[in-house]
Amino acid sequence: MNPEDSAYYAFLPDPARAAAVDRRARAAFAESMMSLLTAFDRQGVLADGRLAGLAAMLDAGMVPPGAVAAYADLVEAIYGSTPEATGVALGALLTALEDEAGTGVRVVTIVDDDLGEGQAERYRRLVNDDPSTPIDVRPLADDDLATAGERLRAGLALLDRAAPAFAGEVRALLRQVVLTRSGGEDPALAFDGASTYMLWGATVLNAERHPTRLAIAEALVHESAHYLLFGFTLGSPLVENDADELYASPLRADPRPMDGIVHASYVLARLCACMRTLAASGALSADEHAEAVRLADAHRRAFSGGRVVIAAHARLTDIGRSAFAPALAYMDGHTGA
C-alpha cells in the first residue's frame, strides 16, 4: 500500500494496511539505526564482522520495541555529548536487536527480567512523555501477571472471533503488551494505557483498569489505533498547532494539545466501530452485549465533543486531514446505528 494513495487512510481496520504501516515504521527506524551503527563501526566500537549481522537483521525488519527504546536513549546521549550514557544505550540497542523474540504478541510486565537490563526504566520514561500528566507505572506480581495475561489472551481471542479485522490490525501493530498497575494512592498518577512512537510495537496497559475480556479487547483496539496514526506520520504531529495550545479534550478532564485531541477523537471513532461490530457478532454474553452497546454510544457522544473542538481550532496537516476525514465520514454515516 502506498501512503500517497487515499485508500491508505481508510477508516475501517485493514490488517494488510496495518502490516504495511508497521513495515514502513520499522524500515524508518532500521535505516536510522543502521546509520548510527555504521558510524560506530567506523570508529572501531563494534567487533569485526558484527555490523553485517546487524544489517541483515535490520533489513529483515527485526526491530523489536526494546531496540527502539534503546535507540531513543542513544540519540539523546549522542546529542547530549554524554559518552557514558552513549555506551550504555549502544549496548542496550545491540542486546535488544540480537534478542529479537520472534512473532506473535508477547505478554510481559515492566521489569528487566522480561524486557532486558535497564529497559524497565527506559519504558517508564518513554511513556511518561508529558510532564504535565505523569503516570506511575509499576510491575505486576507473578500471580497477577498470570491472571492478567489469561484475560488479555481471552480479549484477543474475542477479537479474533467477533471482530477479525480489528484483531488482525492489533496483531500487525502490537508485538509486546506490557501489563502493569498504577503505583501510589494519587488518582492523578493512574492511567488506563499508554503508547508512544518511540516504543514502536509495545503498549503499556494498566491491568487493574481492564478487568474483563471486553475491556481488554477495547484497550487493544484503542492502542493499536494510536499506533496506526503514529505510523501514518512516522511520529510527527497530525496538526500544525503548537504543543502549548491547549483545548478541551473528549477523553481527559484537563486541557490537552490539539494533536492529542485529534488522536483521542480518531480513537473514539474506532472504538465506536469496534463495539458496534462486537455487539452485532453474536459472540457476546447478554451482559457483554449491553456493555458494548453502552460503550458504543458513550464513544459516539465523546467523539461529537472532540470533533467540535477540532473543527473550531485544529490546523490539520495533509496527513491529518487524510486520516481524520474518513473517521468523520464513518461517524456521520452511522449516527443512528
Q: What is the pLDDT of residues 38-76, one digit of tens each?
A: 999 999 999 999 999 999 999 999 999 999 999 999 999
Q: Rounded distance, CA 334 to CA 304, Å?
A: 12
Give CA separation, 149 vs 143, 202, 276, in Å: 10, 15, 25
- Report which residue type is found at 83: P
What do you get for the CA distance between the two ends of the chain, in Å?
A: 30
**Using one digit for the tens of pLDDT, what is the confidence trace for 14-23?**
999 999 999 9
Q: What is the pLDDT of residue 283?
A: 98
What is the maximum alpha-carbon separation in the chain?
65
* CB atoms closer than 10 angstroms to residue 29: 22
Q: What is the pLDDT of residue 335?
A: 59
- Report which residue type is found at 135: I
**Which cell is 272 given?**
465506536
The phi, psi pair for 174, rounded to 5°, reads -110, 120
Q: What is the pLDDT of residue 337?
A: 41
Q: What angle do CA 235, 85, 231 make, to 5 degrees?
A: 10
The phi, psi pair for 201, rounded to 5°, reads 95, -10
The separation between CA 328 and the C-alpha centre of its own chain, rounded to angstroms, equals 22
Assessment of whether the complete model's pTM goes beyond 0.85: yes
Low-confidence ranges of the chain (pLDDT < 70): 100-103, 184-189, 335-337
**DSSP β-bridge partners for residue 202:** 176
Q: What is the pLDDT of residue 101?
A: 61
Residue reference for cell 479485522: 165
Give CA separation, 240 vs 8, 31, 266, in Å: 21, 26, 17
Could you tell me the sign of the dihedral formed by the alpha carbons of 274, 277, 279, 284, in that order?
negative
The phi, psi pair for 204, rounded to 5°, reads -105, 120
Specify the pairing of strand 246-247 against strand 106-108.
Answer: unpaired
DSSP state of 183: -
Residue reference for cell 461529537: 304
Q: What is the pLDDT of residue 248?
A: 84
Residue reference for cell 494533536: 259
Q: What is the pLDDT of residue 187?
A: 64
Q: What is the pLDDT of residue 181?
A: 95
Q: What is the pLDDT of residue 336?
A: 47
